[in-house]
Amino acid sequence: MRLEILQGDITTRDVDAIVNAANSSLMGGGGVDGAIHRAAGPELLAACREVRKEYPGGLPVGRAVATPGFNLPSRWVIHTVGPNRHAGQTDPGLLASCFRESLAVAESLGARSVAFPAISAGIYGWDAREVATVAFDVVRNFGADGSPALELVEFVLFSPEMTTVFRDVSGA
């Protein structure tokens, strides 16, 4: 599995699936969540409403579900709810679950390539270095059984500062 770290807009990535750092309602929000909903078009919100019927209390932290990508270059959007450090969700296991579950969903869809944002960094208060460390650990261990269906995992980061942190942590 190839790992790449890029600065840019995740909504423009030509990969099989992009991961959305969603809120539990799946109804869109700010940051990457809002950008993905705007770029995908109103059909994404309708699809999220359908998924939401399975999770009337909201998608739990650390879980992941997929919808079509609609107007995005990616075929699918994988929505995951990261832990909110400001709300007392400080367990790195919850953060790791976001990455692990998203990779498992991507694999179940038959995706060969997936792009991640820095889940829970930013408004949810997690330190970028900790997010990167957890993310790389999960991704590197995901294909450890020797049968990874995923060929490419991208980390697409909006700011130069976040990109630098991810590159430093990865050793790239």
Query: In the annotation, is 91 catalytic?
Result: no
> 14 CB contacts (<8 Å, ≥6 apart)?
73, 74
Alpha carbons 78 and 11: distance in angstroms, whole number: 12
Across the chain, the runs of DSSP E, i.e. the strands, are 2-7, 17-22, 64-68, 76-81, 113-116, 152-157
Buried b (16+ CB within 10 A) or exposed e, 24-54: bbbebbebbbebbbebbeeebeebbeeebee
Candidate list 9, 33, 137, 168, residue with the active-site label: 33
For the chain, the C-alpha Rg in angstroms (whole number) is 15
DSSP string covering 63-75: -EEEEE-TTSSSS
CB contact set of 47 (below 8 Å; sequence gap of 6+): 67, 68, 70
Residues involved in catalysis: 33
